[in-house]
Structure 1
Amino acid sequence: MQPSSEVSPPPGWHTGADAEVAPRGLRALCSPTTLTGGLTELAWVGAHVLMYPLGTRMEALRPDPRRRTGNQPAAVRALFAADPLAARVPVLLVHGLVDNRSVFALTRRSLRKRGFTSVCSWNYSPLLTDITLAATALGQQIERICEQTGHDRVHVVGHSLGGLIARYHVQRQGGDERVDSLITLGTPHQGSVLAHVLPTPLVRQLRPGSPVLRELEEPAPGCRTRLTAVYSDLDQVVLPTRSGRCDHPDLGARNVLVRGVGHMSLPIHRGVLDEVATTLAGAGQQDAGRRHIAAVA
């Protein structure tokens, strides 16, 4: 992955020298990457609507003790070469707003195919009104998984609001004792201006500068969870797209920029899934304290 800078939103139409910027913005919107990403987003949203009813039931964690990393394909063995036991650390997937575990259908399959033996999703209440309450419930779910599997720590992958719920638990409720790695996909770490559209209690917490987001800006010294924030320049929900970054000075998050991937497509994009698997396998540990932006092909 090569270093890259974030793509700025297309500017408005101006006169003079600024007028030259507008055509560049239009060309960016009409680029093959953007068009492909937009079509993929539309197709996945349609498929996800059909799959949604199948994800309403809570998923039980079903570890497969028969699987051994040494018996896996070469690509799987290479992924866990540095730490073969990493394949057995439970992975918990947390969905976003007005969603359920069906959004992770391909994510679960991908992680299991890559050698992770304990992967499950968690559905929180669709009537959720407060991020802090959801974070507490997430902590209880993590404790149940640790008790069931015998592991002291787990990995968490959160999409959209799910990432913010997990971050709150890690940063404000002592969840870093249990959560080894947290990966957020399209999470509004700095809020989203789109949250001004709906006045519901939960959505108000997603507005830039809300009390919950200000609380997450407070110091968090000694946080033990490795955090990776994946965000996209084509996110239609997290606006501005730069709000998907996590720049808290005490968290040392890795910020990974992907280009041309819509908000709902992040959990199914192959490059994003590669990043998730590599990070959870431990390959990113040496970079945990260094914040940077990277582009995933």
Structure 2
Amino acid sequence: MIARMQATWTVLLLLGAACWVGYAAQRSWALAGGGIAVGVLVYLGVMALQFTLMQRVNAADPAPRARFAQVLRAWWAELGVALHVFCWDQPFRSRAEPDWLPTAPTGQRGVVLVHGFLCNRALWRTWFAPLRAAGHAYEAVNLEPVFGSIDDYAPTIDAAVQRVHAATGMAPVLICHSMGGLAARAWLRACAGDARVQHVVTLGTPHRGTWAGRFARAVNARQMALDGDWVGQLSGAEPAGRAALFTCWYSNCDNIVFPTSTATLPKADNRLIAGVAHVEMARRPEVLRGCLALLMSEADSAAKI
């Protein structure tokens, strides 16, 4: 569903721009160019507002505060990454590359990839080839309904865990971006998943919610309100020691999930990647390398058992 929504939005934007240029160019090319420039400036400004709010809210957070140069770099990078993800990969390439569940075990641990809010499996497109090259079976889920409760995603994750386990003979690792990490925690609660998964990696997940959640209207977005009822109940239902199952990547330039420390879990392996924006985090080579290294270490530990 999200692919159709984003494809429609992208096409309408392009058609609108073309119609404007066709109309305004009859009067003045400067007028035509000016209209396009206004649209670009609106995009730049909305993204700049996100980073400005992030930096102000982070002033009271105990995590290391980003320098201005880091914020500027993250803003610039996110402009390009967000356009590519939301206007190309997700709308038009979400089914370009299938999941890889080999019929014969490779001896490597498999992966379930779980995207976040307003995303689909194409968020992970740059991960598919490296995972397959390293022999890691993978399934990238699509979380539906797009604006439903996070609790409703547990059956989708559960089915993917079962398929990857069947293909590899080993409990998989879950790698989750943003809301996907909360969906993984909801799955652990609903499906007694602790014994069925080897590890959970979260990238920019609002474990305590996010300040930006106060403006949300969708059910799942409201559930991500900072220190809100849903995240509080989720944490309260978790057994002692579960955080040891988690590695949490977080950034002091995350323009969606802030304050910074909300993307961490007490007693988890929390890894700060400074100066990286929200969607960009899922496309950073060092994050991918770190996850591949973790998968290798988990495979080694399984071999010793």
TM-score w.r.t. the length of structure 1 is 0.71
* Counterpart contact for 2:201–2:246, Cα < 8 Å: yes
What is aligned with 1:119? 138
Matched, 1:209 2:247: no
For 1:61, the aligned partner's letter is D
Q: Within 2, Cα distance between the matches of 1:124 and 1:161?
A: 10
1:45 to 46, 60, 82: 82
2:199 matches 1:174: no
CA–CA distance in structure 2, aligned partners of residues 213 and 51 of structure 1: 30
> Do 1:182 and 1:225's aligned partners in 2 also have CA atoms closer than 8 Å?
no
Give the aligned partner of residue 62 of structure 1.
100
1:257 to 272, 275, 285: 272
Q: Is the 2:131–2:137 Cα contact (8 Å) retained in structure 1?
A: no
Unpaired runs of 5+ in structure 1? 1-8, 13-24, 69-84, 287-297
* 2:67 corresponds to 1:28: yes
Give, in whole Å, the separation in 2 of the partners of 1:237 and 1:284: 33
Deviation by residue 1:3-55 (Cα, 9 ceiling, x = unmatched): xxxxxx7559xxxxxxxxxxxx8x921x2x43333222111111112111234
* Structure 2 match to 1:270: 285
Query: Does the 8 Å CA contact 2:250/2:270 hold for their aligned counterparts?
Result: yes
Q: Which residue of 2 aligns with 1:105?
A: 125
- Cα deviation, 1:79-121, whole Å, max 9, x if unaligned, reads xxxxxx4xx21111111111111111112233334x1331231
The residue that corresponds to 1:139 in the other structure is 158
Is 1:193 matched up with 2:232? no
Aligned partners of 1:179 and 1:225 also within 8 Å: no
The 8 Å contact of residues 95 and 122 in structure 2, kept in 1 or not, is answered as: no
User: Residue type matched to 1:192 in 2?
Assistant: T
Identity over aligned pairs, percent: 24
Which residue of the partner structure matches residue 221 of structure 1? Answer: 240
Higher fraction of helix:
2
Structure 2: 5+ residue stretches without partners: 1-53, 58-64
C-alpha separation in 2, matches of 1:128 and 1:191 = 16
Cα drift, residue 222 of structure 1? 5.7
3-state SS in 2 of match to 1:230: strand
Give SS of 2:122's match.
Answer: helix
Between structure 1 and structure 2, the one with the greater Rg is: 2
Match of 2:60 in 1: none
If the length of structure 2 is used for normalisation, what is the TM-score? 0.70
Shift of 1:63: 3.6
Aligned pair in 2 of structure 1 residues 202, 111: CA closer, same or farther (>3 Å)?
same
Q: Is the 8 A contact 2:157 2:184 kept in 1?
A: yes
Q: Between Structure 1 and Structure 2, how many residues are aligned?
A: 239
By how many angstroms is 1:64 displaced? 4.6
**Most deviating of 259-268 and 194-203:** 194-203
Confirm or deny: 8 A CA contact 1:95 1:158 kept in the other structure: yes
* Alpha-carbon distance change, 54 to 89 in structure 1, aligned in 2, over 3 angstroms: farther
Counterpart residue identity of residue 36, structure 1: R
CA distance in 1, matches of 2:92, 2:73: 27
Residues 217/187 of structure 1: CA separation in 2 closer, same or farther (3 Å cut): same
Equivalent position amino acid for 1:50 in 2: W
Deviations 1:238-297 (A, max 9, x none): 0212111112xxxx41000111111000111112112211122227999xxxxxxxxxxx
Aligned-residue CA RMSD (Å): 2.9
Q: Which consecutive segments of 4 or more residues in structure 1 shift more than 6 A? A: 65-68, 283-286
Output the amino acid matched with 1:179: V
SS class of match (1:281): helix
The verdict on how the C-alpha distance between 1:193 and 1:53 changes in structure 2, with shifts beyond 3 A counting, is: same
- Does the 8 A contact of 1:38 with 1:262 survive in 2? yes
1:230 to 215, 235, 249: 249
Separation of aligned partners in 2, 1:45 and 1:63: 29
